[in-house]
Chains A and B, each alone.
Chain A
């Protein structure tokens, strides 16, 4: 069973704080990892991709990957109320299979 696990939240952080979102996956051979943001009633929007161990930064977002621990995370610095959304972790598992999504973590940034 190929699974992607996320804490459903809600995760509440004050405006300006760092939000930390976590994701674990079951397939040790997974190669590609993506974070999507989804506002209520809207479709998922790609915000970050990461393919190798370590950190990848893009503006206020940092993705972190640890393949040995089968763990990927997303940090959002200087959180804004407009960051309030559900964040979906998605993984390309072995065998070039379609992306497997987690259930998402709902983030609420309090002004």
Chain B
């Protein structure tokens, strides 16, 4: 069990640029989640996948955000035309069960700074 891996750890970009983050979940986990966290707040749900299917997207997720999990393994989160308000820690998590008793295991996160 190597844990959830996220890349890059840090990303600084200029407003208007596109960025893409990658997440590799724990290998046997079929659910993968993306959350966003800003200073002083708890993680805020963005979207999640069961295998390759994207099952839910937060209403907070604007159309500049897109996520994929093409083969049910790793996932990417792309933000187009970044804005300063997108600056946050982007957290990926995975879980092994589809029932309610499903703790999430988080990666180290990608810290995005939009200048």
Contacts and interface: CB of A to CB of B under 8 A. Distances in A.
Partners in one complex: yes
Interface of A: 4, 6, 8, 31-32, 34, 42-46, 49, 51, 88, 90, 92, 96-104
Contacts of B42: 4, 6, 88, 90, 101-104
A8 B44 CA distance: 16
Nearest to B109: A43
B16 interface: no
Main secondary structure of the interface of B (DSSP, over half): loop
Contact of B108 (A31, A42, A92, A98): A42
B40 interface: yes
B45 A98 contact: yes
24 contacts: A8-B40, A31-B100, A32-B101, A34-B103, A42-B108, A43-B109, A44-B91, A44-B106, A45-B106, A46-B103, A46-B105, A49-B101, A49-B103, A88-B42, A90-B42, A90-B104, A92-B101, A96-B98, A97-B56, A98-B56, A99-B33, A99-B104, A101-B43, A104-B41
Nearest to A94: B100
Nearest to B107: A43
Nearest to B56: A98
A103 B107 CA distance: 19
B115 interface: no
B21 interface: no
A98 B94 CA distance: 11
B47 to A, nearest CB: 9
B106 A43 contact: yes
Contacts of B102: 32, 92
